[in-house]
Amino acid sequence: MRTLAIRGATTVEKNEKTCILNETKILIKKIIDMNNLNEDDIVSIIFTMTRDLDEVYPSVAVRELLNLNDIPLLNFEEKYIKNSLNKCIRVLMHVNTDIKKNKIIHIYLNEAKKLRTDLSIRSGSNE
C-alpha cells in the first residue's frame, strides 16, 4: 500500500452555501466511488476555491457527507489568474491505496471538465 494523490474539480452556478456544499459532495462522492475507496483510505484533503466563492468552506461538505472528523482538511483561495475559470472548486485528495498510479481516476465535473479534458474522458465524467 502507498499514498497517492487524486485530483478533481467542479464548478457551481452561484456563490451560495447550498450550491457549494452540494457540488462538493457530488465531487467527493464520485472520487470515492470511481476509485473504490473507503473512508479509512483517505489521508487528507486539500481544497481551493476561486475568489468569487466565499459563502462556505468546501470541507464542511466533506464533514457532512462522510462525518469525517479525524481527516485533515484544508481550504485555500485559488491563485487568481486573469481569464481563468470562475466559481471553481478544486480538490487534492491523498489516499492510501493499492491502485496503480496510472489507474487512479481523477474527476472533473461541470465547467471544470474544460480544465483536463483528457482526464474527464477517462473518468467518464463528461456526461
pLDDT of residue 123: 53
Q: Give the residue-averaged pLDDT of 102-112.
A: 95
CATH topology of domain 2-123: 60s Ribosomal Protein L30; Chain: A; (3.30.1330)
pLDDT of residue 111: 94
- Taking the alpha carbons at both ends of the chain, their separation in whole angstroms is 32
List, for residues 20-75, the tens digit of each pLDDT value.
Answer: 999 999 999 999 999 999 989 999 999 999 999 999 999 999 988 877 778 999 99
- 13 pLDDT higher than 90: yes
Banded model confidence at residue 85, pLDDT cuts 50, 70, 90? very high
Domain boundaries defined on the chain = 2-123
State the DSSP string of 70-115.
SS-EEEEEPPP-TTPPSSEEEEEEEEEE-S-GGG---EE-GGGGGT
Banded model confidence at residue 116, pLDDT cuts 50, 70, 90? confident
- 5 pLDDT higher than 90: yes
